[in-house]
């Protein structure tokens, strides 16, 4: 490949909310979903770009419109983690979101939000250069306006790279002269305005031939789900490319996998027929392997543990969201802190009390059991995340607790967007800003970080070691105590990093 593979299109934030259903709503006969976890992923063109970036030795660039809100920041973070370079156009309005409510592996309801599509901003000179130097381009149109942008369309028409157009019924016609169009059956019927034929293959063939002529495309490949695809070239008999395997599973993203694979093949110099055959095989394997969850990195999740009573009511995403919304509606300050809190001790409590005094609510971001084990080894945690959550939630200075499954709280912070992030005095300030890894993240939305003094002589690791010393036959933990293992050491005072001027 001489240049990057460029994906152009609309990006959405896909959120899967997992839960359990064991009762009906008392005021209407509908199931009540008790949320247990959620996962965020890029959708639309963002998913296509993420899938393409999974190919070895491939540089993938995404040209998309991102809103200046929490959803836009979350998408940018997810895409960067997937290895995608993002060239963002401005977007008026909010980030479009598709939220699927799931229980026992089944989708109960999909909730869309984000309003009417906003007008994307004009591309920069850098965007136009990357399109001119692309080895192949995929237009992943989800009908929200990016594919209508005049300057982008002119650049797409002028590029010498092969262009694949994955259309949407609400989107515009493809630019003339593209190599391949990849609609599904319903899309080709609507776009080409064809009547149903005797068989689905006849209908697909009529639609593909009509769409190819109307859009002056080199070829049209109509995806047929588990039956493969139908490829129509100019002046040739339609070619049926059967799927190598039939699989039942989550088909969400299968069309994106098909289009991305075909684009990658064309970038390597493959013929259109070869690209479609490879795309059918990859899309079929994608569904058989479990869909989007099988190919993307483990999603960032917040895992609310179950609880009951007053403490339990403060635990989880729903509880935290309610507290934060109420405080923000009143113009208050949201404070957050985080850690493992394995064997809660006086040093922890002092830090939590100091943090609560800095604002109007305190949300604790708690490392899950898996996260603690990854950070500190298989012998930790001593206490489960459920027990640690309930102890924290029982403190009067704590308003809510959320559990995160990653090594860092970045995903939780991006969701919460606190005004203040607090840690114990374990971080040297050097007379300037605290050396906290979260400081730069907080600045994105105008927040700041605070380091509070730590009580001397309190350490979870030292407590565990002392307990094991007194237990015959128990092994001692390492004498090396990583900085992340406790909230901090004595600090002469409190250090604050302020947001950049004009960000608040």
Taken in order of first residue, the domains within the chain and their CATH numbers are: 1-22+31-138 (3.40.1190.20), 162-298 (3.40.1190.20), 301-497 (3.40.50.620)
| 329 pLDDT tier (thresholds 50, 70, 90) | confident
Name which of 19-23, 72-76, 175-179, 490-494 the model is least confident about: 490-494
Which DSSP helix (H) or strand (E) runs through 189?
helix 185-192
Statement: residue 490 has pLDDT above 50: no
For residue 295, give the nearest of 19, 49, 5, 23 by alpha carbon: 49
Measured over the CA atoms of residue 297, residue 49, residue 220 and residue 250, the dihedral's sign is positive
* 94: DSSP letter: P
The C-alpha torsion from 244 through 246 and 247 to 253, rounded to 10°, is 60
Q: What is the pTM of this model?
A: 0.61
pLDDT single digits (tens) 373-393: 988 888 888 888 889 999 999
Average pLDDT (122-132) is 94
Statement: residue 453 has pLDDT above 60: yes
d(CA 42, CA 82): 10
Q: Tally DSSP H helices, then E strands, for the chain.
A: 16, 20
Q: Enumerate the β-bridge partners of residue 448.
A: 420
Average pLDDT (153-163) is 95
**What's the confidence (pLDDT) of residue 303?**
46
Name which of 102-106, 143-147, 236-240 the model is least confident about: 102-106
**What's the confidence (pLDDT) of residue 197?**
66
Statement: residue 190 has pLDDT above 90: no
Cis peptide before 275 (omega within 30 of 0): no
Q: How far is CA 179 from the centre of its chain?
A: 31
Query: Catalytic site residue 256?
Result: yes
Statement: residue 12 has pLDDT above 80: yes
Statement: residue 72 has pLDDT above 60: yes
Statement: residue 457 has pLDDT above 60: no
Statement: residue 6 has pLDDT above 50: yes
Statement: residue 10 has pLDDT above 50: yes
Average pLDDT (76-93) is 88
Task: Return all residues near 218 (Cβ < 8 A) that are at least 6 apart.
Answer: 177, 178, 179, 180, 212, 233, 234, 272
CB of 433 closer than 8 Å to CB of 470: no
Statement: residue 396 has pLDDT above 50: yes
**What's the confidence (pLDDT) of residue 470?**
64
Statement: residue 493 has pLDDT above 90: no
Statement: residue 481 has pLDDT above 60: no
pLDDT single digits (tens) 398-448: 999 999 888 889 888 988 899 999 987 654 444 444 457 788 888 888 888
**What's the confidence (pLDDT) of residue 475?**
41
Query: Could you say which of 10, 256, 342, 485 is catalytic?
Result: 256
pLDDT single digits (tens) 37-59: 878 889 999 999 999 998 888 99
pLDDT single digits (tens) 333-356: 999 999 999 888 888 888 898 899
**What's the confidence (pLDDT) of residue 467?**
62
Token pair of 472 as six digits? 């015959």
For residue 448, give the nearest of 495, 400, 391 by alpha carbon: 495
**What's the confidence (pLDDT) of residue 245?**
74
d(CA 77, CA 96): 16
**What's the confidence (pLDDT) of residue 464?**
63
Statement: residue 311 has pLDDT above 80: no
Q: How many CA atoms lie within 13 A of 348 on its CB side?
A: 19
Length reported for the chain: 504
Average pLDDT (10-15) is 93
**What's the confidence (pLDDT) of residue 247?**
65
Average pLDDT (128-149) is 95
d(CA 89, CA 147): 12
**What's the confidence (pLDDT) of residue 312?**
54
pLDDT single digits (tens) 194-222: 777 668 888 888 899 999 999 999 999 99
pLDDT single digits (tens) 251-308: 888 999 999 999 999 999 999 999 999 999 999 988 888 877 776 555 444 444 433 3
Which DSSP helix (H) or strand (E) runs through 111?
strand 106-113
Q: What is the mean pLDDT of the chain?
A: 82
Statement: residue 499 has pLDDT above 70: no
**What's the confidence (pLDDT) of residue 192?**
84
Statement: residue 249 has pLDDT above 90: no
């Amino acid at each position: 490949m001489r240049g990057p593979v460029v994906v152009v299109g609309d990006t959405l934030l896909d959120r899967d909310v997992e839960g359990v259903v064991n009762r009906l709503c008392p005021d209407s006969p509908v199931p009540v979903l008790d949320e247990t976890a959620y996962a965020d992923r890029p959708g639309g063109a963002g998913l296509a770009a993420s899938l393409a970036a999974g190919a070895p030795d491939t540089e993938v660039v995404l040209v998309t419109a991102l809103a200046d809100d929490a959803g836009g920041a979350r998408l940018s973070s997810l895409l960067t983690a997937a290895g995608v370079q993002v060239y963002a156009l401005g977007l008026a309005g909010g980030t479009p979101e598709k939220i699927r409510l799931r229980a026992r592996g089944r989708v109960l309801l999909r909730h869309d939000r984000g309003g009417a599509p906003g007008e994307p901003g004009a591309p920069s000179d850098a965007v136009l250069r990357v399109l001119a130097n692309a080895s192949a381009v995929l237009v992943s149109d989800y009908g929200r306006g990016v594919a209508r942008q005049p300057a982008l369309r002119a650049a797409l028409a002028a590029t010498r790279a092969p262009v694949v157009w994955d259309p949407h019924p609400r989107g515009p016609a493809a630019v003339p002269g593209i190599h391949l169009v990849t609609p599904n059956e319903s899309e080709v019927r609507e776009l080409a305005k064809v009547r149903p034929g005797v068989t689905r293959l006849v209908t697909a063939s009529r639609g593909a031939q009509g769409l190819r002529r109307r859009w002056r495309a080199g070829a049209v490949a109509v995806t047929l789900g588990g039956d493969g695809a139908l490829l129509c070239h100019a002046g040739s008999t339609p070619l049926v490319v059967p799927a190598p395997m039939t699989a039942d599973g989550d088909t969400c993203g299968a069309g994106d996998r098909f289009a991305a694979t075909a684009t990658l093949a064309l970038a390597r110099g493959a013929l259109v027929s070869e690209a479609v055959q490879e795309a059918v095989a990859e899309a079929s394997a994608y569904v058989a392997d479990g869909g989007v969850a099988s190919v993307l990195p483990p999603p960032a999740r917040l895992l609310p543990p179950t609880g009951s009573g007053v403490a339990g009511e403060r635990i989880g995403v729903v509880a935290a969201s309610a507290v934060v919304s109420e405080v923000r509606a009143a113009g208050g300050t949201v404070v957050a802190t985080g850690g493992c809190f394995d064997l809660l001790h006086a040093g922890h409590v002092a830090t939590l009390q100091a943090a609560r005094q800095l604002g109007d609510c305190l949300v604790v971001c708690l490392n899950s059991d898996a996260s603690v084990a990854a950070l500190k080894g298989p012998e930790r945690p001593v206490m489960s995340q459920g027990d640690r959550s309930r102890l924290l939630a029982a403190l009067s200075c704590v308003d809510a607790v959320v559990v995160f499954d990653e090594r860092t709280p970045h995903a939780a912070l991006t969701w919460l967007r606190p005004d203040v992030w607090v840690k114990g005095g374990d971080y040297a300030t050097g007379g300037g800003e605290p050396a906290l890894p979260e400081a730069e993240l907080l600045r994105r939305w105008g927040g700041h970080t605070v380091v509070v003094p730590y009580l001397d002589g309190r350490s979870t690791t030292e407590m565990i070691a002392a307990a094991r010393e007194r237990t015959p036959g128990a092994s001692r933990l390492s004498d090396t105590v990583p900085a992340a293992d406790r909230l901090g050491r004595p600090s002469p005072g409190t250090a604050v990093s302020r947001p950049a001027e004009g960000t608040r």
